[in-house]
A and B are shown apart, each in its own frame.
Chain A
């Protein structure tokens, strides 16, 4: 059991940090557009292929390394199709888009959400008859960047995976009727495995966002003065900052552990759900308190802290929220007795 980064992992972290700071240093508001420049820089680092085997065109590293990069993105609060590219690539099998995705010559994103339907990894209203799809995917992340898309559909023989080269979007909506799609080798096991990887990367991004939100809050408590003294003189605030720190460190342990787990057990659904719950709870806590402890400035688009909270909220709602994962876990709790984390 070892939670320390290796030297290579630290070097990767530094390289990612440096690439990010060269491109953009300020968090961006709202549902921000894909940052293509940054994405290219990450591609040049080999960042997009990290968890995939070299024979397939990847970098032959693993989920831990991909997590290291995602953490830096979250810390900086930048938006680029990182977790999306890796999640899509993980579903592409030996499709020709895989190479394009991991070398960064084409933005490829997963289209997995159905409009006005609670999250489920299993497609319901998206269906396929041969290569002919029907149904709608919405919202598709970073649709404005005109990405290629990987989606899933219910087929006669279970869940199918489909690649779509140049789809036409209406906003973030993709109507699948009549689009030209090709079926990719792979089934729902591969889909779930990709979503597991995606959940890890989003959780790492959330961890980075929590780190920055707490950092900003601590600095603000030191510098902002009211009643003639810095805010840190008020224990009601510092006690809450201490709780935020505790939430952060709990989330960190869970994210690092999930990365180590997926490196040896990429299908560990329970591990993924537990991490999403831990990160979800910590993220809510830190995100809300970070704004509150800033007062009015925390509400402004000009200031970064609220954007971290926005990102944490988006991540909470992607690939199943705390409620979804808790009910998934709850259904299984009678099947085992105590927990065992070390073996």
Chain B
């Protein structure tokens, strides 16, 4: 047992801090800090700067741009990125389809897709969920039927995050309806969003924003060489995609940054003769959230060190569960700090109210999603109770 960083890791940390706080444009970082929605162009600028510095996909295999970092280094990288209010490289690219293609794709597929995926020349979206298939994803109904050397795809995906910006979608489709188990009849296909027969319809969310969509497939013809890996193995790839990362599951740097900001906010909002931060109930809530965060972050550091070489791991369920809960707790707290100043959601140049306060309620509402997507918290508890505790329900 040993506390603290080695001199090399300290050095690594200061390099990361230097990079994220100087190379990424301030206007983007200010937007992230205030919780203002980013444009497509913001994401692209930030992603490309990281890519040019070799920092967009450091966890990929080395031949495709990876860095062979230790888990601790990966943690430091993510922590510094989040502390600096830098938007993460697009998750659909960097954390989802990239690692899947790098692990299961053919050499041709890797050469075709990995470089533009790393550089964000392809913007990916994730086509897993369907109207009737959420937590029970394996029940999905979108079909793909081989016709010559093309698959013909019919069906509907939903909740497709940032599909409106996407060039391609990686979709789970049913290729063998007769398989003994549902899971064994699913494949993963790569489909261009501008293919004939693909249509996209926006879904507005409770924060008033447009970040998710419905995607419809009507006799969409997809060349068979855009099948990832083997036919009917898509479920394994999806499980890999959802469970291969431990270090990044809980956004502890983000939460830390928000909690530090919450203190600044509480010190800025007047209350009586002083400020909210002088209220012992507010101070105690900060202290408690800090304790909760410390417990989570230390757990990230502790379990990351024992990661199982990329295999899905039930321990990452604790991190997803607590990470989303704490994210939500901190945003709820910030909305409470903003109080009546949060009642107008519109950012206005002449406003005496800070952007963070205008944004506080929509951001709070938006992040109710964190305990729903990527395996809801109830599903995470199920993984813990069956996978770790051996309680077979």
Contacts and interface: CB of A to CB of B under 8 A. Distances in A.
A239 B283 CA distance: 32
Interface string A320-333: 00000011011101
Interface stretch (B160-168, B199-207, B286-294, B348-356): B286-294
A222 B294 contact: no
A204 B153 CA distance: 57
A245 B302 contact: no
Interface string B310-338: 00000101100110000000000000000
A333 B385 contact: no
B263 A333 contact: yes
A253 interface: yes
B182 interface: no
A274 B10 CA distance: 24
A261 B298 CA distance: 12
Contacts of A3: 1, 301-302, 305
Contacts of B83: 338
Contacts of A222: 390-391
B1 A260 contact: yes
Contacts of B381: 238-239, 242-243
Contacts of B263: 333-334, 337
B287 A329 contact: yes
B5 A6 contact: no
A263 B4 CA distance: 12
B174 to A, nearest CB: 28
B1 A256 contact: yes
B378 interface: yes
A341 B386 CA distance: 32
B393 A2 contact: no
A250 B305 CA distance: 15
Contacts of B302: 3, 252-253, 256
B137 to A, nearest CB: 18
A259 B384 contact: no
Interface residues of B, number: 56
B301 A342 contact: yes
A10 B385 CA distance: 27
Contacts of A197: none
B382 A242 contact: yes
B287 A218 contact: no
Contacts of B2: 1-2, 260
Nearest to A341: B297
B322 A246 contact: yes
A327 B280 contact: yes
B256 A338 contact: yes
B231 to A, nearest CB: 34
A273 to B, nearest CB: 8
Nearest to A251: B295
A329 B10 CA distance: 27
Contact of B299 (A64, A235, A243, A249): A249
A256 B263 CA distance: 28
Nearest to B260: A338
B243 to A, nearest CB: 16
Nearest to A217: B389
B1 A64 contact: yes
Interface in B269-290: 277, 280, 283-284, 286-288, 290
A337 B266 CA distance: 12
B299 A232 contact: no
B3 interface: yes
A337 B265 CA distance: 12
Given A250-B299, A254-B298, A277 B291 contact: yes
Contacts of B72: 1
A333 B393 contact: no
A331 B279 CA distance: 10
B288 A326 contact: yes
Contacts of B256: 338-339
Contacts of A5: 1
Given A249-B299, A249-B318, A261-B3, A330 B283 contact: yes
A64 B389 CA distance: 27
Contacts of A331: 283
B295 A218 contact: no
B384 A278 contact: no
Nearest to B278: A334
Contacts of A253: 295, 298-299, 301-302
Interface in B371-393: 378, 380-382, 384-386, 388-393
Contacts of B97: none
Contacts of B267: 334
Contacts of B322: 246, 250
B290 A245 contact: no
Interface in B65-97: 72, 76, 83
Nearest to A340: B256
Nearest to B301: A1
Interface in B1-20: 1-5, 10, 13
A86 B83 CA distance: 40
A301 B152 CA distance: 67
Contacts of B299: 249-250, 252-253
B296 interface: yes
B259 interface: yes
Interface in A278-333: 278, 281, 326-327, 329-331, 333
20 contacts: A1-B3, A218-B389, A238-B389, A241-B391, A242-B317, A242-B321, A242-B389, A245-B384, A249-B315, A253-B302, A254-B294, A254-B298, A260-B1, A278-B291, A281-B291, A326-B291, A329-B284, A330-B280, A337-B263, A339-B256
Given A6-B1, A252-B299, A338-B83, 20 more contacts: A1-B5, A3-B301, A4-B1, A5-B1, A232-B391, A233-B393, A238-B382, A239-B385, A242-B321, A242-B385, A246-B384, A249-B315, A254-B294, A257-B298, A260-B3, A278-B291, A278-B294, A331-B283, A334-B283, A339-B259
Interface of A: 1-6, 9, 64, 218, 221-222, 232-235, 238-239, 241-243, 245-246, 249-254, 256-257, 259-261, 263-264, 274, 277-278, 281, 326-327, 329-331, 333-334, 337-339, 341-343
Closest 7 CB pairs of A and B: A253-B298, A329-B287, A338-B260, A242-B381, A260-B3, A330-B283, A242-B384
